[in-house]
C-alpha cells in the first residue's frame, strides 16, 4: 500500500484529536488448487487490500480496520477510531514503541519474495503429481486429496513517531493426504511443506510418496496397555513442544503471573547443552521479518542457552508493565493491538539420529502424530493424544494408536535429549527428542 496514503491516515488521526497513531496497509494475493482421486476438486483465488489504524488518546487506545481504502472510507475509519479511543478504558502501558527502539536506516534483505507467480495449471500439475505418487504406494486404497498453493503479500506500517517500513513475502505450499486400508481397518498419512521460494519445495512426488508411506506403515495399529516408558517425539512434530514454552515466557503471561516458568528466568530449564534460538533474520525463513510489528529492531536471540532460560518475549506494552525493554517480539494483525510471537525457532542438535535414540532407549514409544494437547499454564502439567510406533531392542515393532502421554513440562524439558536429525521444515524446528520416561495411557 502506498506510503503516502498511510501517512495521510496518520496525519488525519492526529488532526482529529489522537495524540499518536499507527497505520498499517496489507495487500495479499493467493491461489490454491486441490485435486482428489485424479479429479480437479477446487480452485480458490483471493485478492485483498486492507487498512488498519491504531490511535491513542492519552492512555486510551482503539484499533479499527477495513477493506475500503477510498478517501471517504478512510475519513470514516479515522473518525470511528478516535471516537472509540475516547471511550476506551485507560491503559497505563499503552503507547507506540519508544523512538530509540525503532528500526532505522537500511533494513536487512531477507530474500522473502519470489517473483514467480505460478498459474492454476502449474499448481494443478503439482497437486496431481503429489496425489498420484501417494496412490501408487502399496497399501494405499484411497486419497484425501492433494493441494498446491501460492501467495504474495506486502505489509507496510507508518507511525506518528516517524517510523515507516515495508516487507514483502511470497509463500508456496504443497500437501498430500493418503488413506491405506486392509481387513483390519483404515489409516491415514499426511505430508506437506511450505517455502518462501518455489524452488525450495521438495519434489511433488516425494511429498506424495511420504504421505502414502506414512499411511501404509500405520496399518495394523493396535492399542497398548498403560505403562511408563521412554518416549521419542519425531522431528516433524517435536517442535510442538515449543508452543507451551513460548506461551510460558511471553511477557503478557509473565505480567499476569500465569506462567509455569515465571520464576525460572536465568535458571536451567532444559538439560545442559540444549540451546533454542529465535532468528527473525533467517534468509527465506517462514517467520522472518526485518522488524517486528511495532517497527522495533529485531535480532537473533538464544531463548534457551546451554539449558538456561535467558529472556522473556516482550512487546512494548508487556515490557513497560514489567519495567523492562521490548525484545522486538511484537506481533499483530490489523484488527487488534500487538501481542507477542517468536519468529524462527530452532533447537540445537545432539549426536544421535532417531535410530540412535531408539537404540539408547531400547524399548518405548515413537510418536509420529499428536492431537488435542491439554496444558495447565500455571503448573506445566501437560498431556496429548498421540499415535506412532512401539519399538523394542531399538527397532520398530508395530504401530500403536489411541494413546495419551502426560507429564509436567518442567520435568520433561529438563530431561529432553535432542537427536541429530534436525530438518528445517517451517518456522519452528527441532530434531527428534527423547524423554527417558513418560506416563503412557492406553487400554
Q: pLDDT tens digits for 262-310?
A: 999 999 999 999 999 999 999 999 999 999 999 999 999 999 999 999 9
Cα–Cα distance for residue pair 115/150, rounded to 1 Å: 11
Res. 443: pLDDT tops 80: no
- The mean pLDDT value for 71-100 works out to 96
Last residue of a domain, one of 217, 238, 253: 217
- The mean pLDDT value for 390-410 works out to 96
Tell whether 141 and 225 lie within a shared domain.
no
Res. 335: pLDDT tops 90: no
Which residue carries 529485531 as its cell?
A: 298
Maximum pairwise Cα distance, the chain: 74
- The number of domains in the chain is 2
Tell whether 264 and 404 lie within a shared domain.
yes
Tell whether 246 and 186 lie within a shared domain.
no
Tell whether 21 and 64 lie within a shared domain.
yes
- The mean pLDDT value for 20-40 works out to 97
Instruction: Give the pLDDT confidence of 206-244 residue by residue, as tens digits.
Output: 999 999 999 999 999 999 999 999 999 999 999 999 999
pTM of the model: 0.95
Q: What is the mean pLDDT of the chain?
A: 96
Tell whether 208 and 237 lie within a shared domain.
no
Res. 316: pLDDT tops 90: yes
pLDDT given at position 290: 97
Nearest to 224 by CA among 62, 73, 399, 430: 399
Cα–Cα distance for residue pair 302/297, rounded to 1 Å: 16
Q: Please say whether the beta carbons of 337 and 344 come within 8 A.
A: no
pLDDT given at position 442: 87
Instruction: Give the pLDDT confidence of 166-213 residue by residue, as tens digits.
Output: 999 999 999 999 999 998 889 999 999 999 999 999 999 999 999 999
- The mean pLDDT value for 409-423 works out to 97
Range of the domain at 80: 3-217
Write the DSSP symbol of residue 265.
T
Tell whether 209 and 259 lie within a shared domain.
no
Tell whether 269 and 403 lie within a shared domain.
yes
Report the share of the chain in percent with pLDDT over 70: 100
Q: Please say whether the beta carbons of 185 and 75 come within 8 A.
A: no
Tell whether 315 and 178 lie within a shared domain.
no
Last residue of a domain, one of 171, 194, 217: 217
At residue 94 the predicted structure's pLDDT band, cuts being 50, 70 and 90, is: very high
Cα–Cα distance for residue pair 342/427, rounded to 1 Å: 9
Cα–Cα distance for residue pair 69/73, rounded to 1 Å: 6
- The mean pLDDT value for 319-329 works out to 97
pLDDT given at position 155: 96
Q: Which residues of 118-133 are buried (b: 16+ CB within 10 A; e: fewer)?
A: bebebbbbbbbbbbbb
Cα–Cα distance for residue pair 279/35, rounded to 1 Å: 36
- The mean pLDDT value for 346-353 works out to 96
pLDDT given at position 29: 98
Strands 339-340 and 330-331: what pairing?
Answer: antiparallel
Tell whether 208 and 276 lie within a shared domain.
no
Tell whether 373 and 343 lie within a shared domain.
yes
- The mean pLDDT value for 59-75 works out to 96
pLDDT given at position 184: 82
Cα–Cα distance for residue pair 177/131, rounded to 1 Å: 8
Last residue of a domain, one of 185, 217, 249: 217
pLDDT given at position 378: 96
Question: Residue 286 — φ and ψ, nearest 5°?
Answer: -70, -20
Instruction: Give the pLDDT confidence of 8-22 residue by residue, as tens digits.
Output: 999 999 999 999 999
Cα–Cα distance for residue pair 274/3, rounded to 1 Å: 43
CATH number of the structural domain spanning residue 99:
3.30.2290.10
Cα–Cα distance for residue pair 147/35, rounded to 1 Å: 6
At residue 375 the predicted structure's pLDDT band, cuts being 50, 70 and 90, is: very high
Nearest to 384 by CA among 369, 397, 396: 369
Tell whether 114 and 99 lie within a shared domain.
yes
Q: How many residues does the chain have?
A: 443
Tell whether 179 and 34 lie within a shared domain.
yes
Amino acid at each position: 500500500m502506498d506510503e503516502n496514503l498511510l501517512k495521510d491516515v496518520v496525519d488525519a488521526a492526529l488532526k482529529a484529536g489522537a495524540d499518536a497513531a499507527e497505520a498499517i496497509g496489507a495487500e495479499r494475493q493467493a491461489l490454491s488448487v486441490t485435486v482428489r482421486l485424479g479429479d480437479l476438486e477446487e480452485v480458490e483465488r483471493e485478492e485483498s487490500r486492507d487498512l488498519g489504524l491504531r490511535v491513542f488518546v492519552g492512555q486510551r487506545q482503539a484499533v479499527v480496520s477495513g477493506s475500503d481504502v477510498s478517501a471517504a472510507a478512510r475519513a470514516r475509519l479515522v473518525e470511528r477510531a478516535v471516537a472509540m479511543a475516547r471511550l476506551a478504558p485507560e491503559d497505563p502501558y499503552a503507547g507506540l514503541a519508544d523512538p530509540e527502539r525503532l528500526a532505522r536506516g537500511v533494513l536487512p534483505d531477507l530474500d522473502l519474495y519470489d517473483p514467480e507467480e505460478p498459474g492454476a495449471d502449474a499448481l494443478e500439475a503439482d497437486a496431481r503429481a503429489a496425489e498420484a505418487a501417494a496412490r501408487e504406494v502399496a497399501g494405499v486404497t484411497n486419497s484425501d486429496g492433494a493441494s498446491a498453493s501460492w501467495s504474495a503479500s506486502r505489509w507496510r506500517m507508518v507511525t506518528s513517531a516517524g517510523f515507516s517500513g515495508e516487507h514483502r513475502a511470497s509463500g508456496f505450499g504443497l500437501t498430500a493426504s493418503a488413506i491405506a486400508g486392509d481387513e483390519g481397518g483404515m489409516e491415514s498419512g499426511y505430508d506437506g511443506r511450505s517455502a518462501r521460494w518455489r524452488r525450495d519445495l521438495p519434489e511433488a512426488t516425494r511429498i506424495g510418496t511420504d504421505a502414502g508411506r506414512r499411511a501404509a506403515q500405520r496399518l495394523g495399529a493396535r492399542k497398548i496397555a498403560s505403562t511408563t516408558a521412554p518416549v521419542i517425539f519425531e522431528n516433524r512434530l517435536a517442535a510442538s513442544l515449543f508452543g507451551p514454552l513460548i506461551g510460558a515466557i511471553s511477557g503478557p503471561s509473565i505480567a499476569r503471573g500465569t506462567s509455569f516458568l515465571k520464576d525460572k528466568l536465568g535458571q536451567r530449564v532444559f538439560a545442559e547443552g540444549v540451546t533454542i534460538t529465535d532468528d527473525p533474520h533467517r534468509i527465506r525463513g517462514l517467520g522472518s521479518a526485518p522488524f517486528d510489528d511495532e517497527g522495533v529492531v529485531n535480532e537473533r536471540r538464544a531463548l534457551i542457552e546451554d539449558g538456561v532460560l535467558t529472556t522473556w518475549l516482550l512487546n512494548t506494552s508487556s515490557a513497560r508493565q514489567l519495567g523492562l525493554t521490548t525484545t522486538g517480539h511484537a506481533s499483530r494483525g490489523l484488527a487488534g493491538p500487538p501481542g507477542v510471537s517468536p519468529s524462527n525457532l530452532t533447537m540445537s542438535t545432539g549426536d544421535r539420529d532417531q535410530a540412535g535414540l531408539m537404540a539408547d532407549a531400547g524399548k518405548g514409544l515413537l510418536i509420529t502424530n499428536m492431537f488435542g494437547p491439554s496444558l495447565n499454564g500455571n503448573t506445566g502439567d501437560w498431556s496429548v493424544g498421540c499415535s506412532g510406533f512401539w519399538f523394542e531392542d531399538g527397532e520398530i515393532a508395530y504401530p500403536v494408536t489411541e494413546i495419551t502421554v502426560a507429564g509436567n513440562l518442567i520435568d520433561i524439558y529438563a530431561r529432553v535429549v535432542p537427536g541429530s536429525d534436525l530438518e528445517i521444515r517451517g518456522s519452528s524446528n527441532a530434531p527428534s527428542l527423547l524423554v527417558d520416561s513418560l506416563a503412557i495411557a492406553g487400554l
